[in-house]
Structure 1
Amino acid sequence: MKRLHRLLEPMSRAVTYTRWLHLFLGAVAAVLVGGIFPGLEDPSAGMWLLLLFLPLPLLALAALVPGTRVAETVQARLLLYPGPRAPGEHPVPTIAGSPSASWTDRWRVFVWLTLRLWLGFTVTALTFHGVVLTLGLVMPSLWPPFGPAPMPLPGRWQWWYPLLAPVTAAALAALVRGSGALMAGLAPRLLGPSPAERLAELEERTERLLERTRLARELHDTIGHALTLAVVQAGAARAAGTPEFTERALAAIEDTGREALSELDRVLRLLREDAGPAARRPTLAHAGRLVESARGAGAEVTTRITGDLGAVPGPVSREGYRMLQECLTNVLRHAGPVPVTVRVEALGGRLELEVRNKRPAGSGGHRGGGSGLRGLRERAVLLGGAAAYGPHDGFWRVHVTLPLQ
């Protein structure tokens, strides 16, 4: 019973009949051309074979039209892959939905139209004769030859002929199912994206992923920095217990929150396609407010700046600001308000950024596997530089080198 159910199950699915219809439509060109020449009245076997080649010039002209690929793609999606997929069935393959853009695309469309013509015409003819033969085996009155039919039924009807009807019906079902599956397998190869289209799609997807990664880093840097400062400053104000320090901490939290809101608005503008130009990202020229924020949180920050930071190229200066922000945030998050030394040097065609902080007793330093430090190293590599971090002479040190060219 299971084998019988497995054999009959495809005939109960809609996809079998939509693919059957797809094959019938493929034979329309042969029928239309054959109706004009050589005609469909009493055709010989040679004439039937001729109908497979007469429409080819028309199919070649149709393949030259870029929109033919779109029309065939729509029809293939509707008829070859209709409805939801059955459990365990392969997902719908990728089929290009764009017009033909090259001669290779047009050639593939022509091959598709030709195979669809040949296979559709063959399935249509065999379907007609298979139905006639199955009915003739069951009904004695239909067994004699059907006039000029290409496949007349020979001899006289015998009583055991109905036993053969399931065989012819099963053969017809297997033919329809196999032909439909063949067309479904050929569709992604002949109508699917070309290598150039796949490469363009891959590049576009990579650009989207890179942009999403960059925006995620922006949110991590800005919001993470603001929340870290707010938490540290609030804790320090509670520990100090003096109105003066509490007032300074609240003012610092207010400034940090306002800056974070501005940065969040800028990032959200980048996500909205219809938004106006986003605000400019901060650069190393604005590093002073990072230092002041860290000092407001209780850290003793010592800075040493060498060179003209205003002359640092925009991409390097903006990423350098984010790296410094990440370093100071990590200091406050993992080490607390400890002494910090910041060195920024823009000389000799390169930018050096170094942040050192005292490691509290019993502290293992910063967690080197965090996404922030990994992102910092990735930023440096993308700019052609390098970044290193870890324990160094009793301190925790982050050292970044970026080329200025």
Structure 2
Amino acid sequence: MPRFWRPLARAVTYTRWLHLLCASVVGFACSFVYPGLVDPDFGDWLTIYAIPVALLVPAGLVPVVRRAEGLQARLMLFPGGHARVAGSGEADGVSVAPSASWRDRGRTALWLVLRHLLGLSVALFSGQAMALVLELAGASVGQHVDSTWRFAVTGTGWWYAAGIPVVLVAMLYGVAGAGWAMARLAPLLLGPSAAERLAALEERTEQLLERNRIARELHDSIGHALTVAVVQAGAARAAGDPAFTERALDAIEETGRAALDDLERVLVVLRESERPASTRPTLQDADRLLDSARAAGAKVDVEVSGPLEKVPGPVTREGYRILQEALTNVLRHSGTVPVAVTLRVADARLVLEVRNPLPPERGTGHGGTGSGLRGVRERAALLGGHARTGPVGDEWQVRVELPVA
């Protein structure tokens, strides 16, 4: 379609036209009371434009009016699916929240006044254009039509019909221009305030943090289960002992079930945001991790001191995941080596330490992408603690200190 005709073929041109015509209702309603629409002069028209302003300004100061205007603007100035959902499309620039400050109320009042002035002008312009079309149609068939057109068409003749499409196109282009102006004004006068933008940014930040937390949960849980399964399967194949193979299969089954439980819990959170998630494992459930590592062939020694059961929920849950990641790294990168685990609660801090010998072929690093260790540091930082990971002498150490007060 040629660009010239495109504005006339777009549905948005006509929804914006309707939006402006709705705004003219207040002006015409007031004019019926005073000064009337019977042969009004220039002063009468000024009165018709001015009187509604005294009503619209107080209305704009009512907080809920901003929500009503925002919804109407979204649906009629920006029609389409995106106009009904925040987060995408042009309509994002229009708020649907009540006024929260006097600045918002002032902007809403100004919006109502400008919409009234432009809407009344468009209604009068459209009415005069349609009246002219009727005059031209009558003149083209040899009749004179008594219309509201301010300047009567003189004479008759079929050639008057040629002016009808010109008038209609001019009218529609005028309407399209007025609708475009309202669409540009809407984000300025009905757009989110600074407080609303800050709230939206905070909500977005919370969503990103939650997504990162879920990603870490899946990485730690599924990664641990797969690592244990791979190590157990390899050890069973190398051992060639039916009894050992049976124990390895039991360990793989138990670890897999635990990973499926974790996966189901995360999927419940993703599917139903209003539904509370099931209980997450804590450090008091650490025996499950330690037994899994031992079943994979690692020699795990554990030292626990202090009231572990009194560690706050967020700390003990994140501590469980940190321990899980540390043990997974041992099995993945060092194999079945001796592991020393320390859990100590003292001086209002939880100290979690995992140490294991570095295999000679690994040198001074564990290899891998480092995403698991980065997750350990992120968890510690979010809780106000700190983590240290890396080689210490001929050992690899993961040491995390978290405040518990």
TM range (shorter): 0.7 to 0.9
1:160-239 pair list within 5 angstroms: 171-239=170-238
Q: Whole-Å Cα distance in 2 between the matches of residues 229 and 141 of structure 1?
A: 90
Tell me by how many angstroms 1:380 deviates. Answer: 0.7
Cα gap change, 1:135 to 1:292, in 2 (>3 Å): same
User: Does 1:7 pair with 2:4?
Assistant: yes
User: Does 1:48 pair with 2:45?
Assistant: yes
Identical pairs, percent: 54
Q: Whole-Å Cα distance in 1 between the matches of residues 309 and 278 of structure 2?
A: 21
1:231-380 pair list within 5 angstroms: 231-271=230-270, 272=272, 275=275, 278-279=278-279, 281-363=280-362, 365-367=365-367, 369-380=369-380
The 8 Å contact of residues 146 and 152 in structure 1, kept in 2 or not, is answered as no
Task: Tell me whether 90-99 or 9-18 shows the greater mean CA deviation.
Answer: 90-99
1:79-98 pair list within 5 angstroms: 79-83=76-80, 91-94=89-92, 95-98=94-97
The 8 Å contact of residues 357 and 395 in structure 2, kept in 1 or not, is answered as yes
Q: Whole-Å Cα distance in 2 between the matches of residues 83 and 384 of structure 1?
A: 46
Tell me by how many angstroms 1:348 deviates. Answer: 3.5
Structure 2 match to 1:400: 400
Q: Whole-Å Cα distance in 1 between the matches of residues 147 and 137 of structure 2?
A: 21
Tell me by how many angstroms 1:288 deviates. Answer: 3.2
Tell me by how many angstroms 1:400 deviates. Answer: 1.9
Amino acid at match of 1:259: A
- Residue by residue over 1:137-189, the C-alpha shift from the partner in whole angstroms, topping out at 9 and shown as x without a partner, is 898689xx998968436999999999988876665444222211011112223
Q: Whole-Å Cα distance in 1 between the matches of residues 285 and 13 of structure 2?
A: 67
- Secondary structure of the equivalent of 1:205? helix
Structure 2 match to 1:26: 23
Which runs of 5 or more structure 2 residues have no equivalent in the other structure?
A: 83-87
1:97-176 pair list within 5 angstroms: 97-132=96-131, 151-152=150-151, 171-176=170-175
Q: Whole-Å Cα distance in 1 between the matches of residues 318 and 68 of structure 2?
A: 48
- Residue by residue over 1:308-351, the C-alpha shift from the partner in whole angstroms, topping out at 9 and shown as x without a partner, is 43343332222222111101011112222223232333333433
Tell me by how many angstroms 1:383 deviates. Answer: 1.2
Q: Whole-Å Cα distance in 2 between the matches of residues 163 and 256 of structure 1?
A: 83
Q: Whole-Å Cα distance in 2 between the matches of residues 311 and 14 of structure 1?
A: 64
The 8 Å contact of residues 95 and 190 in structure 2, kept in 1 or not, is answered as yes
Aligned residues: 397
1:71 pairs with one of 68, 71, 82: 68
Tell me by how many angstroms 1:23 deviates. Answer: 1.5
Cα gap change, 1:266 to 1:75, in 2 (>3 Å): closer
The 8 Å contact of residues 42 and 148 in structure 1, kept in 2 or not, is answered as no
Cα gap change, 1:137 to 1:355, in 2 (>3 Å): same
Tell me by how many angstroms 1:130 deviates. Answer: 4.1
The 8 Å contact of residues 139 and 153 in structure 2, kept in 1 or not, is answered as no
- Secondary structure of the equivalent of 1:342? strand
The 8 Å contact of residues 146 and 153 in structure 1, kept in 2 or not, is answered as no
Amino acid at match of 1:40: L
Task: Tell me whether 219-228 or 303-312 shows the greater mean CA deviation.
Answer: 303-312
Question: Could you tell me the TM-score, scaled by structure 1's length?
Answer: 0.83
- Secondary structure of the equivalent of 1:384? coil
- Secondary structure of the equivalent of 1:254? helix
